[in-house]
Amino acid sequence: MALLRYSPESDPVSNLLALQSDLERFLRNPGYGLGVSGSGGFPPVNIFDTGDGVAVIAEIPGINPNAISVSGQGHTLTIKGERRRESSIEAQGYHRRERAFGEFSRSVQLPEQLDLDRAVASYDAGMLTVKVPKAEAAKPRQIAVNAG
Partner 1 sequence: MTAHEIAAQEKQAAKGQEKTRAGRFFLPVVDIQELNDSLKIYADMPGVKESEVEVTLNGGTLTIAGTVSTEVYQKLAPLYTEYNVGNYFRQFELNEDIDDQRINATMRDGVLELTLPKSERAKPRRIEVNAR
Of the pair 35, 139, the CB lying nearest partner 1 is at: 35
Q: Are 114 and 133 in contact (CB under 8 A)?
A: yes
Q: Are 145 and 96 in contact (CB under 8 A)?
A: no
- Strands 76-83, 68-73: pairing kind: antiparallel
Of the pair 86, 146, the CB lying nearest partner 1 is at: 86
Of the pair 103, 112, the CB lying nearest partner 1 is at: 103
Distances (CA, A) of 83 to 19, 61, 91: 28, 9, 18
Minimum CB separation from partner 1 for residue 144, in Å? 30
Q: CB burial class (10 A; 0-12, 13-18, 19+) of residue 135?
A: middle
Minimum CB separation from partner 1 for residue 54, in Å? 7
126: phi then psi, degrees, rounded to nearest 5: 80, 10
Alpha-carbon gap, residue 135 to 113, rounded angstroms: 6
Of the pair 20, 71, the CB lying nearest partner 1 is at: 20
Minimum CB separation from partner 1 for residue 142, in Å? 23
Minimum CB separation from partner 1 for residue 146, in Å? 36
Alpha-carbon gap, residue 103 to 83, rounded angstroms: 6
Minimum CB separation from partner 1 for residue 116, in Å? 17
Of the pair 45, 116, the CB lying nearest partner 1 is at: 45
